[in-house]
Amino acid sequence: MAAWSVTFATTEEAFQELAPVQKGERVLIHAATGGVGLVAVQFAQRVGATIFATAGSPNKVQHLRDMGVKYITSSRDVKKFEEDMKAFLKEDGASDGVDVVLNSLSHDDYIPKSLGFLSKGGRFMEIGKRLIWSHDQMRRERPDVQYEKIAMDWVMEFQPERYNVLMRRLVSQIEKGWWKEVPLTIYDGLNSGIDAMRYLQRAQQIGKVVLAQPSRMECQEDGSYILSGGVGALGLVTTRMMAEEGAKSVVLLSRRGVVGEDLKAMWDQLQDFDIELLVKPCDIASLTDTQELVAGLKGSSGYTVRGFIHLAAVLDDATLPKLTRKHLERAYGAKVWGARHLHLCLQSQASPLDFAVLFSSTSALLGLPGKFVVLFCFEGNYSAANAALDGQARYWKALGERMVSVQWGPWREVGMAAQKGTVQRLKAQGLGSIGNVIGMAALSGSLRASGSVIAACPVHWGQYLKQFGKSVPSFYSRFRREASSSSSSAPSGGRALVPGAMAPRPAAVSADQVQAMVLQVAGEVTGTAVGAQEPLMEAGMDSLSAVEFRNRLSNELQGVKLPNTLIFDYPTAAAISMYAASQLSQIAGAGQVAPVGAPGVSASQVEALVLEIASEVTGHGVDPQVIEIPFTRWDLDQYYSADPDAPGKTYAKHGGFIEGAELFDPSCFSLSAAEAATIDPQQRLLLEAAHTAFLAAGWERDRLMGADVGVFVGQCQYDWFVMVSVGDKFNPYTGTGISASISALKEVAYFQIAWPAHFCDETMPGYIFGVKGPSLTCDTACSSSLVAADAALSSLRRGTAEGALAAGTNLILGTGPYISFSKAKMLSEDGRCFTFDASANGYARGEGVGSAFLATLPEDGEASTARALLRGTAANQDGRSASLTAPNGPSQQAVIRRALMEAAASAGEVGLIECHGTGTALGDPIEVDALKSVLGEAGSAVVLGAAKTNIAHLEGSAGIAGFIKSVHMLEKNQAPANLHFQNLNPHIDLEDFQAVIPVELHELPSGKVVSGLSSFGFGGTNAHLTFGSAAAHSGQRVTIAEPAADEGGAITFRHTSFPWRETAYRCLRRKIMEGRDVHYECTIKSDIFKVCAEHVAFNEIVVPGVVYVEHAMEAVKTIVGKEGYLKDLAMTWPLVVPKNADEPTATTVFLRFCQMGDKFEMRSSRGDSTEMITHCEGRIGRGLADPATIDLEELRRMCTEEVDPKDVYAAIHKGGLWLGPRFQVCKQMQRMRTGPSGEGGDKHVLCRLEHSPEPGSQ
């Protein structure tokens, strides 16, 4: 059934729901021997459709023929596919093509070729994941086609009810006998997952490849399992887990044998499982009752009892001085004697029990903290009973039985602690609670424990041990270090009388009263006196104690809604008191509070038109370009350490890097090579981005000369200054080259530039031009370029500039920021921004440059050339926040409100926010809470975008990246997906806030759309921009102005490389001496994968021979000198490149050049293994190699028959080797003409080879 679920659901969604296949229709099913393909074939056969199928190997083709499929062609050779389909359709009399395509192939133009055979108005169902077409692309190519992308994993995650409908439909159809079994290849256990994936990569399977995971509880289908106390909430949760683990019969015991009314919903859910549930009354404290129960089970059930889980417990609270024998007997009866009775009665069976699990409590381990009178509520008798239960488990385990006692902490969703409301009280003392999912995972894993007793409870030891002061018992000695950072006692004194449960209309409470209570709680949490104006974080409050502090305040201040980010929004006790008192006053006034609104705005506010944008960002905004730090920046191995506290090291090794950042066209700007090599590479990229934006906006050379055009640049990285300031490599250009102020395009203002319409040609006459508007560089850290945009709009509004260039630039050239940010734990270990997600753990650094040209609305009022409207901007400062770098929610609210006010826009008009969204556990909740406070009351849906999930955090140019994305979203009326979002950060509260976090391309509402853009610097400077659609201004959709025909299209730069560091050859980074022989070793990272990604042999990415040769040649030249060369080469074994080589969890693969006298080998090893595999071997020659003896002119005369290289590459592909564009370097081929007797032919071949011009093609 597990193998059928997704394959059936995908087919049913495609052929029944989205593109209903009818009798007589023609269906093209790609990869028809896959799991979905085989189910789709059965579906089409059942309804009477004609099937056209693709498959790879001959055995797959034969399998389809055995199923009765007539028309079968290749899934590997697109040329054969095209030829066969034409013949098949002609034979079938289908002149108009097929009606439906079920596609899973995206290589070799299979998508457009398949569309060529799809009839007009046909249906194209896409189930692939990579390299598939977007809806926009399909609309451009085939607007008549119904195009649907099907992803069942998304449906399972976000529409489970819909998926359940499909599953019920599957069960019904199986019962009717509609389906035949699909072939399965089964691998047992998750540890065989790698073998399964390798089998999949070889593309040999027919049907599904299945990983069969055995039951963690090892439940037997013929066995029955007893749960004492099984009809309680915790018992029903455990029963569900047993059903999921494969149990077919469970007997639930309780004294009454009845499921309570409050648990009926949980009981009803269990009825959907394939399991027999018996509820039996039994007082297991009585041996007679237990014996009768077990005897009855043996006589009436076909199952054999294989094990039991003992959850039963009875509470009879009393403080120690009041404990009596009766109290102890009641606690021991169910807990201790119940376990003994079950064990005794079941031990008498013919076969031993598979397992027994006893539910104990951490009260037997930790005892009851003496300074709190009521902590667990179950006092000494309950603790003693659990300790006795643990002792029994040890004894039975010593006898060889499979027995374990689990000391559970409080369960926060079910169980006694949840019922008695003690979870929050325990949490305040440092004891965490257990959720159902975590608890059941611990339970199922407990049987693999080596000991007889295990504990399951999260503990904050620093908080927990405060109760002992300086006299921490030796039992807790191993945890003293964690407690040492906290003081031993809280300040004394009475708490202000603030009512814990407020009446509907209480009297107003003063700020002084609230402040006294806040200071009291803060002192208890931090263990020291706190001043009213002292930032709580400086007073010693960490993130964990901040949560406790907020929760305790919430209990004291009923009716006051405190944000999850309380101490960051209101960093001092005085600020919290004022905030809480204001809310209490509103409650006392029965809600008679005036709504917060924007002041009046003059109708003459100036809007700026965004005329053009230009950018160069990480990998064109695609997450896979967030890679390991490339060697062009620095040697990662020298500065990386997984230990975050290692001095001089960074634990982050990923980032978004611009490929070809060293490239620049100095001739375009009439710069000498010497000056170009000296100026900051950030300035070089910015020059080109600005140049592009000026031209595309229609500002030609004559118009720019002397114009009042302002230039406003955001830049916050000074790596170049640090690098150039070391040593004595100074020249006349160094001063301006390292100055951030020059980034404000002073170069553009004064340098001579050659400006044809579309091509920067050094032969064109140059002239000097200059813009004379304001020019400044902003450094406010991450908000730099958005603050620059705020300054640009301010300049336009004041009339000091008729046009303004807002820009940002950021390159990562040095290690300093990586190391310092790592010490501050600001960076993500995973190298990704998990914005808004529960797994958010810091940000990934990125590079980028962008610019936007702004101008005021022309006198005629038409914005025909505008791409968007910049309606309002604002910037402010956090002031005294929780710490220097901590964000502040109220300040963020203020800057957003100010920008809306300047834009004359209401909160209800905003439908889109491009968030700062760095992916930090703290920053994201504060930002969302601020947005909620400003926009939530409007009640309209707001899409929350986060470009950093796509391109990483571009720091100084992050704002301009968001600016450019905002313009594109308004133009297309779409918001792209935020990557890496799966589960909402639990500290983000979306209640009463209609926030939409897009996980796929999201269509924005039609009509007038207002969007916002936020950027917050870690020094506290905040900026927010408000945009409007240009179409909304003129009443019609505005198109982007394209260059005129005589302009020749896009700008082209003639780039020259200006590298800022000398890099040793990749393979020679680590030298190893073995005697007199030299070895060179390097790790295989994503850079080698990128080179080899288009060299695929039988679905495996394999290192091509030229890589070995190049590595070996560089090593030989280093060892021998220029006279060294290679000879007698032989390739011995392929090296498969790991597809996840740059992932943190990937096993490291090493490639080593090994010299052995005059011989050499290229070897590889993996991880810590010392085993090495040889892939290439040869000999080292010295001196001059034999000169070539080929007469090229003679060869040209012999080779006169033209051969199309595409045919050659197709033949190579057919043989199992796929070469991508990077390796298809043969552009022209001629061979010796074949004679009448077959002579000649391939004896001599002449080829013209040509490398791709793209950066990195080597």
- 3-state SS of 602-668? CCCCCCEEEEEEEEEEHHHHCHHHEEECCCCCCCHHHHECCCCCCCCCECCCEEECCCCCCEECHHH
Q: What's the CA gap between 118 and 131, in Å, rounded?
A: 20
Chain-wide mean pLDDT for the chain?
79
Q: Which of the four CATH numbers 3.10.129.10, 3.10.20.600, 3.40.50.11810, 3.30.450.20 does domain 1066-1182 have? A: 3.10.129.10
Return phi, psi of residue 157, to 5°: -75, -45
What string of DSSP letters covers 431-464?
Answer: B--B-HHHHHHHHHHHTT-SSSEEEE--B-HHHH
Q: Which residues pair with 774 in a beta bridge?
A: none
Q: Is the pLDDT of residue 760 over 70?
A: no
pLDDT at 142: 92
Return phi, psi of residue 605, to 5°: -60, 140
Q: Is the pLDDT of residue 352 over 80?
A: yes
Return phi, psi of residue 511, to 5°: -65, -30
pLDDT at 728: 55
Percentage of residues of the chain with pLDDT beyond 70:
80
Q: Is the pLDDT of residue 738 over 60?
A: no
Mean pLDDT within 540-558: 73
How distant, in Å, are the alpha carbons of 308, 350, 390, 1082, 1164 from that of 341? 12, 17, 16, 65, 61
Return phi, psi of residue 743, to 5°: -60, -20
Return phi, psi of residue 982, to 5°: -130, -50
The bridge status of strand 208-212 relative to strand 184-188 is parallel
The CATH code of the domain at 2-182 is 3.40.50.720
pLDDT at 102: 95
Q: What is the pTM of this model?
A: 0.53
Q: Which residues pair with 655 in a beta bridge?
A: 627
Q: Is the pLDDT of residue 802 over 60?
A: yes
Return phi, psi of residue 1166, to 5°: -130, 135
Q: Is the pLDDT of residue 972 over 70?
A: yes
H/E segment holding residue 1100:
strand 1100-1101
pLDDT tens-digit map of 849-872:
999 989 887 655 554 568 888 999
Q: Which residue has the tokens 């071949």?
A: 1245
pLDDT at 227: 94
Q: How confident is the model at residue 946 (pLDDT cuts 50, 70, 90)?
A: very high
Q: Please name the amino acid found at residue 575.
A: A
Q: How confident is the model at residue 506 (pLDDT cuts 50, 70, 90)?
A: very low
Mean pLDDT within 83-90: 93
Q: How confident is the model at residue 1139 (pLDDT cuts 50, 70, 90)?
A: low
Domain with CATH 3.40.47.10 in the chain: 608-1047
Range of weakest confidence among 564-568, 641-645, 678-682, 1097-1101: 564-568
Mean pLDDT within 682-705: 82
For the chain, how many helices (H) and strands (E)? 43, 46
Q: Is the pLDDT of residue 1070 over 60?
A: yes
Domain with CATH 1.10.1200.10 in the chain: 511-588
Mean pLDDT within 145-154: 88
How distant, in Å, are the alpha carbons of 427, 496, 558, 731, 1011 from that of 500? 19, 11, 6, 72, 42
How distant, in Å, are the alpha carbons of 113, 571, 880, 884 from that of 575? 66, 7, 10, 17
Q: Is the pLDDT of residue 786 over 90?
A: yes
How many other C-beta atoms are found inside a 10 Å radius of the C-beta of residue 448? 8
Q: What's the CA gap between 293 and 1071, in Å, rounded?
A: 75
How many other C-beta atoms are found inside a 10 Å radius of the C-beta of residue 248? 18
Buried b (16+ CB within 10 A) or exposed e, 176-213: eeeeeebebeebeeeeeeeebeeeeeebebbbbbebee
Q: How confident is the model at residue 407 (pLDDT cuts 50, 70, 90)?
A: very high
Answer for the pair 843, 952: CB distance below 8 angstroms, yes or no: yes
Answer for the pair 513, 580: CB distance below 8 angstroms, yes or no: no
Q: What's the CA gap between 965 and 974, in Å, rounded?
A: 11
Q: Which fold has domain 1192-1249?
A: Thiol Ester Dehydrase; Chain A (3.10.129)
CA 418 to chain centre: 34
| CB-count exposure of residue 273 (10 Å: 0-12, 13-18, 19+) | middle
How distant, in Å, are the alpha carbons of 325, 369, 519 from that of 486? 41, 18, 17
Is CATH 3.40.50.720 the right assignment for the domain spanning 223-458? yes
How many other C-beta atoms are found inside a 10 Å radius of the C-beta of residue 706? 11
pLDDT at 589: 44
pLDDT at 944: 96
Give which of 1233, 1255, 1228 is closest to 1244, Cα–Cα.
1233
Rama region for 972: left / alpha / beta (φ>0; ψ in -120 to 50; rest):
alpha
The bridge status of strand 453-456 relative to strand 403-408 is parallel
Higher pLDDT, 10 or 1254: 10
H/E segment holding residue 747:
helix 746-750
Q: What's the CA gap between 164 and 161, in Å, rounded?
A: 5
Answer for the pair 1231, 1244: CB distance below 8 angstroms, yes or no: yes
Strand locations in 715-774 (E): 752-753, 767-768
The bridge status of strand 1226-1232 relative to strand 1199-1203 is antiparallel
Domain with CATH 3.40.50.720 in the chain: 2-182, 223-458
Give which of 1183, 1076, 1064, 1179 is closest to 1124, Cα–Cα.
1183
Q: Which residues contact 1082 (CB under 8 A, 6 or more apart)?
A: 1066, 1067, 1068, 1069, 1070, 1150, 1151, 1152
Q: How confident is the model at residue 1144 (pLDDT cuts 50, 70, 90)?
A: low
Q: Which two tokens stand for residue 1217?
A: 């080797």
Mean pLDDT within 527-549: 75
Give which of 31, 36, 85, 33 is closest to 60, Cα–Cα.
33
Q: Which fold has domain 608-1047?
A: Peroxisomal Thiolase; Chain A, domain 1 (3.40.47)
pLDDT at 310: 94
What string of DSSP letters covers 341-356?
Answer: HHHHHHHTSSS--SEE
The CATH code of the domain at 511-588 is 1.10.1200.10
pLDDT at 1018: 86
pLDDT tens-digit map of 365-393:
876 543 333 333 345 788 888 999 999 99
Answer for the pair 459, 410: CB distance below 8 angstroms, yes or no: no
Q: What's the CA gap between 707 and 711, in Å, rounded?
A: 12
Mean pLDDT within 734-743: 43
Mean pLDDT within 1138-1146: 66
